Copies of this chain bind each other. A is one copy, B any other.
Amino acid sequence: MGTAAGVGPTASRTTARTAPRRTAPTLRQVAAAAGVSRATASRVINGGHLVSDHAKQAVEAAIAELGFTPNPVARNLATRRTGSVALVVPEPNARLLSDPFFGSVINGLSLSLEAADLQMILVIARPGPGHDRAVRYLTTGQVDGAVITSHHREDLLNARLVEAGLPCVFVGRPLDVEDSHCVDMDNVGGARLATEYLIEHGRRRIGTVAGPADMTAGVDRLLGWRQALEGAGLPTDAVVHGDFTAAGGAEATRRLLAEHPDLDAIFVASDLMASTALTEVAALGRRVPDDVAVFGFDDLGLATTTTPPLSTVIHPVEAMAVRAGQMLVEMLSGIEHAAEPVVFPARLALRDSA
């Protein structure tokens, strides 16, 4: 398109002529039917204060009779608010949606948004052309704010949204935006706790299948593992990075055990990877936890279905999402929020694998 960026001719937005959708009644008609002015009718709709009972009755009757429903779009224009917020999920590969993480985020966020009578809509921001459209959609007043599940640093989505002035709250600390409102868990502490547990139970040669180096969850959990080992004077050389997927976890585990056959424990940065790590360990003829202990991270449902069930670090995603929603609601209502991360403490869920 030859015009300035993002202004386009709305390309293929075809001329509308959908099914015979009879036009909805307007406020004007309600006012007329009730024998009052639009202003008065508007008042009874928005709270009903400062109106006589008489007028109120009349307007309500008219509303009921005509089946009037306020046009939200017009209201959006007038109020500059939409009553809806987006849950943004940057998603390179679609399968990420099947991660129980998102289910928990959705659940938690729904809770706090519903309490504030806000509509949650989910926006998937893929790289590519769809990315720009999503950004435009989010930054031009179609939503009041956004909760963003933070991910890789490469996509500039995060920065673009906050710079556009959109009220944003991140679930999980973003790597690329500094003073952001975010709610996270203590990933470092969780990893350290898990690793210390392994040490306390006699493990001396502890490796890790870490997460990606471009995600804070990846680097933080790796850091916690290292801290615990250094604190105990144990070596920290057995590190392989996975990509938080099942297949990636299997592959990383194979490499880790090939390079360090002497490991007696593995801290895996996510349960999904840990689940396949269990399989790989077993495939090598090593028993879990007798020969090799495996410690996971997340406890989002998967950990109890593996054999053996995974000892893991609890990732309180749903509670975090609830909190994120509350933060956003407060920001939307004008409460100034220090842009300081809210950090949920880490706890362990001990089962059979370690």
Contacts and interface: CB of A to CB of B under 8 A. Distances in A.
Contacts of A72: 136-137, 140-142
Interface string A60-74: 100110011111111
Interface in A67-100: 67-74, 76-77, 79-84, 86, 94-95, 97-100
Contacts of A94: 103-104, 106-107
Given A73-B76, A141-B72, A46 B9 contact: yes
Contacts of A122: 121-124
Interface string A125-158: 0100110011011001110110000000000000
Contact of A16 (B10, B64, B80): B80
Interface in A1-59: 2-4, 6-7, 9-22, 24, 44-48
A100 B95 CA distance: 8
B77 A117 contact: no
A16 B332 contact: yes
A79 B3 CA distance: 21
B167 A18 contact: yes
Nearest to A126: B110
A330 B189 CA distance: 54
Nearest to A167: B18
B332 A14 contact: yes
Contacts of A21: 165
How many monomers of this protein are in the complex? 2
A122 B94 CA distance: 14
Contacts of A110: 124, 126, 130
A113 to B, nearest CB: 9
B63 A3 contact: yes
A117 B18 contact: no
A83 B10 contact: yes
A342 interface: no
Interface string A245-276: 00000000000000000000000000000000
A125 B80 CA distance: 25
Contacts of A175: none
A165 to B, nearest CB: 4
User: 9 closest pairs, A vs B, by CB?
Assistant: A122-B122, A14-B333, A17-B334, A21-B165, A4-B63, A4-B64, A121-B121, A9-B47, A11-B117
Interface of A: 2-4, 6-7, 9-22, 24, 44-48, 60, 63-64, 67-74, 76-77, 79-84, 86, 94-95, 97-100, 102-104, 106-107, 110, 114, 116-117, 119-124, 126, 129-130, 133-134, 136-137, 140-142, 144-145, 165, 167, 301, 329, 331-334
19 contacts: A4-B67, A13-B81, A13-B83, A13-B117, A18-B167, A19-B165, A19-B331, A71-B77, A72-B141, A73-B73, A74-B77, A84-B137, A95-B103, A97-B98, A98-B100, A98-B102, A119-B123, A119-B134, A121-B122
